[in-house]
Amino acid sequence: MTSFKRTLSLILAISLFSLSLGNAQASLVSNDQIINKIDQVNDKEALLQTIKRADVQAQLSSMGVSSADIETRINQMTHEEIAQLNQKMAELPAGAGILGTLTLIFIVFVITDVIGATDIFPFIHPVNK
């Protein structure tokens, strides 16, 4: 019985040792990478805050688009798409940009519906079907 216990404890010790030998990776993170990540988060938050404004909500509901669908789509957008959308919104004149912003967002959603990436508007049929 002692031989069995010794063998079992040896097997358990080897298995625990082999489980603890995982691959660890470490690398330096540059300041540019950190700044880019922060910019990505800030751009997305700025876009989500714009969508949550009362005047934007009213315009979107008049178009028949729910804010939940838009938030879902914004969360699925790449950083480049969000940066491009924020840049277009920044170029619009203050006060008059709401309609332009909503039109731009509407066009983005129509395009994503046409290519089949989203299914927000039931009257648009994707090309891939």
- Domain spans in the chain, listed from the N-terminal domain onward: 31-129
- Write the pLDDT tens digit of every residue in 60-98: 788 777 878 888 888 888 888 888 877 777 776 665 556
Place of tokens 């089949």: 116
Residues 112-115: contacts with CB under 8 Å, at least 24 apart: 112/73
Q: Where are the alpha helices (DSSP H) in the chain?
A: 2-19, 31-51, 54-63, 67-76, 79-91, 97-114
Q: Return the higher-pLDDT residue of 93 and 120.
A: 120
Write down the pTM of the prediction: 0.47
Token output for 110: 């129509």
